[in-house]
Structure 1
């Protein structure tokens, strides 16, 4: 049967590829974890390991929270950094949900990690954003951890080489963006490169086109994921600002000590939202040529994606769409949260709610408070 329908083999391989293409962001499931990243008790236990019934948190992270081999190895070698990785997972998820809260895709997909929905495994525009924000969040968290003294092998950022302007001088403790980006590359980018290298090894000259198709496609997706990681880190770099503190007698500002500080994570999320809107679709040519022909570096500031996204209007689990039925919308807005856009033209229903609360309270004499009961009616609008 497969001999008669060779296109079916290609489709199955294509689907299998995209099921695997999001494995390097499964670590975002740490947003739900309560792991204790402390191996003091294990180090004092000569019988530690599976036989002792005590598991390393890194082994648990690999088994339960989606760490792949290279991430688990880094976890074992840099255990003290793992609480900050967990913080980064929560920061990335929260920022994504805030940025997209009023849109058809409201980033609810990110909460299902490590069991990712198809919209985060098919190299979509949404997957591009999630890769970028996760890379940015990890860089951000590690840079802050260095400056706060939470990590013993890094500290404040080095002072800028360019001379300061005016009456200020470089000082303070700047967020160590260089080390934060370095760690993010080791934890996220190296995982993606690991997937790409495995794919390259599976490309063999004597194999048929069908046999090589999966490996070539997987390599292409890895390159695009790496590019989107880089975009996330670049947004933080471009958002660095000078922050100062005054010094002087009686509150004067004779001398200003300044350092370069990170932008807020909310600002990073907003800038990545703009890049999500203007993301570039890449037409994969895996069936005819190798990944090198893509050369995504030429589009250095754009997020890249391969697969078109669903419209997220109706529920379709095959595509990862939860639909917008029941979502609250705004009847006076013209933006993405408007009932017209959010409800996809299906209309909306008005829900009237009565709120009963104490009001107009007065304090009498010394001993009691007397209040009236107020009833207020509110309306909200939900997509049909």
Structure 2
């Protein structure tokens, strides 16, 4: 269930109207992807490729619900796991534009409680440390798993959870939630720190983070299938989530149904990985991000969008990197191909979006199954095959 980074590259209808170009051999691409699906173990998946304001290709394969034989479609709704963090990046940039704070603002000047790394109590954690994964706040396994609930909507407020775990006076506080290295010196991917970044916006905006994103992103883009929490009115469009190779971990026993599908679950730290959306909406969102990169967004000025894409350096002046990452940006990262990308993996979910910034091509892959298992070679190979097909579309 722990959300991880993966290794793939992959897309994006916008509030501009995107038109399907006739230059792609859709029939041949569809045949290739359908063949990959039939040879894979995936219950279903959806893909899209966009260039500028045009959809080059978009399609869905397999099933959203195996038991009821519901086909996966471009309007099927599913979580996108850690790809959700790219929405935090947009929201932080919007918060900068609104004058709430800057990258250099110490987080304790914003928070209604205090956070200090017990191993380095004199260090100052700033906003930039959260979105570059260098804050020293880490995902202690026990803390992280405690954020999941078998329900449709979290029963504990985001701020309450963060205070209880990160404030030294909190009931669930532990020094294990912090790294031993000084702030700003070491990359450590952190869902908790990402959720904290979203909470900073919540505090300054005086509204829940989900309301902030609805106001400044989802409504302006008309993303009618996108939400952070379960929507009963759209339940017939939700994908069933599956585990192909069930991890031998205790907390999965509570999640699993007999057919390897998952029970409904949610996360208290929802901004770090709980966004639910469809392929249609995700293409619109990625198109907006691509417009922002080119300086032609209608939602935010170029000056405030630019920090989202800036390649970051750490305290020692060296590029912030990690395995599979050439350089970190604002939650987004650049891979070794120079593409701006983010992956997401969670129980029953795999998602990846990428932007070839040189050619302005966006790619998306959504799968209603988790590939993060010990026995995942076949799953990874299937994803590589899909990615290879998408790379031929440009």
Q: TM-score range by the shorter chain?
A: under 0.3
What TM-score results when the alignment is normalised by the length of structure 1? 0.28
Q: Which has the higher contact order (CA 8 A, sep 6+)?
A: 2
Q: Give the greater-gyration-radius structure (CA).
A: 1
Structure with the higher fraction of residues in helix conformation: 1
